[in-house]
Amino acid sequence: MKGDFNSFQEVIDILHSNDVRYVILRNYDNLLTSNMYMDGHGDVDILCENSLTIVNLLGARSYQDLSPKLFNDGTHYHISIKGKRVKLDLRHVGDGYYCTSWEKDMLKYRVLSPQGFYVMDETNMLYSLLYHALVQKKEINAEYRKNIISRLSQFNITLDQESNERKQFVAVLEKFMTAHGYFYSYPHDIYVPLNKKNINRSMIKSNIGLRYKHMKFDSRVKLIQFLVDIRHYICRSFH
């Protein structure tokens, strides 16, 4: 059945035989092994030119069974590997996950990994990881921090141990972005935040519609969290 595979290698073979321009964005060390579902990275993040091309080639299924809002949204899909559901986050040029010119450059300068699939070159890998950790996450976890520091050292970029680490990360990222004419952008996917902590807000690409959608979604999340906290407080008070 279309959408069902015995290994992710079969997926890669289909993409290559159809000349699809893509990169696996990150967390791909175990992509072709039975450990691909381990360490909390059971999903595969892919950047491509047109996500619906991949959807049609693979027979990927949308996540309408989890949320009607995700039905054929161009991003959230899944396939089956040996009967296990594998989530595909399909990012595409122009979706605001990164700015359009940067997404195009990621695909332009992609390299073939030793495992036989396309990934970003070392430069784009470093700075896209910085962007992802700083801007698309609420906080930088230990795994990302270790990875970033290791990659910075490969570029002979050292940090001042006495200064704020996050601000130094931002400074390194924005120096690179400015040199290449890149900017921060609101993702079309409202589930991906645009964390403005410490960043230069003048580098955010203005988009009133997407900004409003993100503000509305963030407010809803905060309200739900507030109500959950209140409920927990009340429950503790009666025990």
Q: What is the pLDDT of residues 176-208, one digit of tens each?
A: 999 999 999 999 999 999 999 999 999 999 888
Question: At 107, is the pLDDT very low, low, confident or very high (cuts 50, 70, 90)?
Answer: very high
Q: Which residue has the higher pLDDT, 230 or 94?
A: 94
CB 56 within 8 A of CB 18: no
> In the chain, where does the domain assigned CATH 3.30.460 lie?
1-120
pLDDT at 71 over 90: no
pLDDT at position 94 is 96
pLDDT at position 138 is 87
Please provide residue 27's backbone torsions phi and psi, each rounded to the nearest 5 degrees. Answer: 55, 45
Q: Which residue has the higher pLDDT, 69 or 52?
A: 52
pLDDT at 220 over 90: no
Contact residues for 197 (Cβ-Cβ < 8 A; gap 6+): 134, 166
The 10s digit of each residue's pLDDT in 2-36 is 889 999 999 999 999 999 999 999 989 889 886 66
Q: 176: part of which helix (H) or strand (E)?
A: helix 165-180
Measured distance CA(103)–CA(81) in Å, rounded: 28
pLDDT at position 39 is 45
Helix/strand/coil for 65? coil
pLDDT at 44 over 90: yes
- Percent of the residues in the chain that have a pLDDT greater than 90, as a whole number: 67
Class of domain 1-120: alpha beta
Q: 100: part of which helix (H) or strand (E)?
A: helix 100-108
Model-level pTM?
0.87
Q: Which residue has the higher pLDDT, 107 or 73?
A: 107
Chain-wide mean pLDDT for the chain? Answer: 88
pLDDT at position 212 is 75
